[in-house]
Structure 1
Amino acid sequence: MQIDMTTLVPGFNDPVHDAQRVFRALLDALARPGSIVSLDAALPANHAMRDGLAGRVPLAAFASLLALTDYSTPVFLARDDRTFGDALRFHASSALTHKRDEAAFVYIDDVSQMPSLDGFAQGEPETPEDAATLFIRVPSLTEGEPLVWRGPGIDEASTVRVAGLSREFWRERAALTAQFPCGIDCYLVAGATLIGLPRTTQVEVN
């Protein structure tokens, strides 16, 4: 499909250095599960990118996928968004796919329509790095039912509140953690901020 240049939104101001800053922020989020990480510091002057998909795609999700994806990493967008897809294809040469199980990166726009997690790539014991990474848009990273997180990067335990995710999501994810080193890494995204949820994190659900 040809890119519609009339609706194309800007990407990074400084593609190399902005992508590096975002990548470091994403690593930090996975290293400290449950901690809220802001990408504002990584993108201090990119007002054009903030406005381009405002209200439709969180800045943190857009910037993250620009930094992480290329022609070799298929991206699955749970909601078809021509403007978002064109921006990823133009600025990052991202390869879009309609097949969930083939995607290296996934963007979930609506948690009320959350697909089953077992439909995404979870890697194999010999190649756990082939698992999908999900970016899930949520209403808030500070509200919702308090859940206890434990695992690497967390000092004993941390209570985390994230709005919008159902108990079924947490139950499905708990089942996947038992398959480590296979599994799915997630980022929970709201606006310009996100929380890392690596496959090594145990989340207690009643």
Structure 2
Amino acid sequence: MLSEAIALEGGFSDPVLNAQSVFRAVMDAMARPATIVKVDAVVTPPSPLGRAAGAIACALIDADTPFWLDAALAESAALRSWLAFHTGAREMATCDDVAFALVGAPTTMPALERFAQGSQEYPDRSATLILQLPSLEGGAPLTFEGPGIRDRVTLAPRGLPKDFAHQWSANRKRFPRGVDLILTAGDAIACLPRSARLVEMEG
């Protein structure tokens, strides 16, 4: 009974308006890659999922978009029930063919190429990865250029895989295929669409 009560609580208080607000924030962040954007994360998901990641899940994931949880998140039965109730989506056992992936421990996540990449004809059939990080600041600087970026922009998130630069360079080379990333920390997000070029690797 307790887990059922937890699943019912902590979602959007006004599902339509809240979802629209979060969606606009994500679209703004996607349009301005590697730029930190605040999200009105009016949700309280069960631990270990953070507010921004939970709000994005509630806004973007639905019955038509199956999702996957990494081991760090999947171990929480309360969280799995919460996501099922508030999104109506199916959780999948593997990451290979899902629309969204929620990652609580990015340092040990599967390689980006393991997720759905889309195709040349249907690049939109790829995965969007929602990564939960300790912070979007204070890490190793990553400089990007490309569509939506004036000149260059630098982001320094903490908690990415050690070989992230190599993986992201390979992901960019698969364009228009490839995955998109939403980095989250607390109430903040920064997006890396597959069009963003990592200068250190490709400049």
Give the alignment's TM-score, normalised by structure 2.
0.91
One-letter amino acid matched to 1:19: A
Alpha-carbon displacement from aligned partner over 1:143-168 (angstroms, at most 9, x marks no partner): 11112110111111012111121341
Residue 196 of structure 1 deviates from its aligned partner by 0.6
Q: Name the structure 2 match of 1:201.
A: 196
**Gaps (5+ residues) in structure 1?**
none
- Structure 1 segments, 4+ long, off by >2 Å, are none
The number of aligned residues is: 197
Alpha-carbon displacement from aligned partner over 1:103-133 (angstroms, at most 9, x marks no partner): 1000110122121111100100000000000
Over the matched positions of the two proteins, sequence identity in percent amounts to: 36
- How far apart are the structure 1 equivalents of 2:83 and 2:89? 5
- How far apart are the structure 2 equivalents of 1:176 and 1:161? 19
- How far apart are the structure 2 equivalents of 1:176 and 1:92? 28
One-letter amino acid matched to 2:146: G
Q: Name the structure 2 match of 1:13.
A: 13
- How far apart are the structure 2 equivalents of 1:117 and 1:166? 10
Measured on the aligned residues, the alpha-carbon RMSD in Å equals: 1.8
**Gaps (5+ residues) in structure 2?**
none
Q: Name the structure 2 match of 1:153.
A: 148
One-letter amino acid matched to 1:184: V
Assess if the C-alpha contact under 8 Å between 2:107 and 2:162 holds in 1: no
Alpha-carbon displacement from aligned partner over 1:54-82 (angstroms, at most 9, x marks no partner): x5111110000111111111100002122
Q: Name the structure 2 match of 1:189.
A: 184
- How far apart are the structure 2 equivalents of 1:165 and 1:204? 17
Work out which of the residue numbers 31, 52, 58 in structure 2 matches 1:60: 52
Matched, 1:72 2:64: yes
1:1-206 alignment, distance < 5 Å: 4-8=3-7, 9-40=9-40, 43=41, 46=42, 49-50=43-44, 52-53=45-46, 56-79=48-71, 80=74, 81-205=76-200
Residue 15 of structure 1 deviates from its aligned partner by 0.5
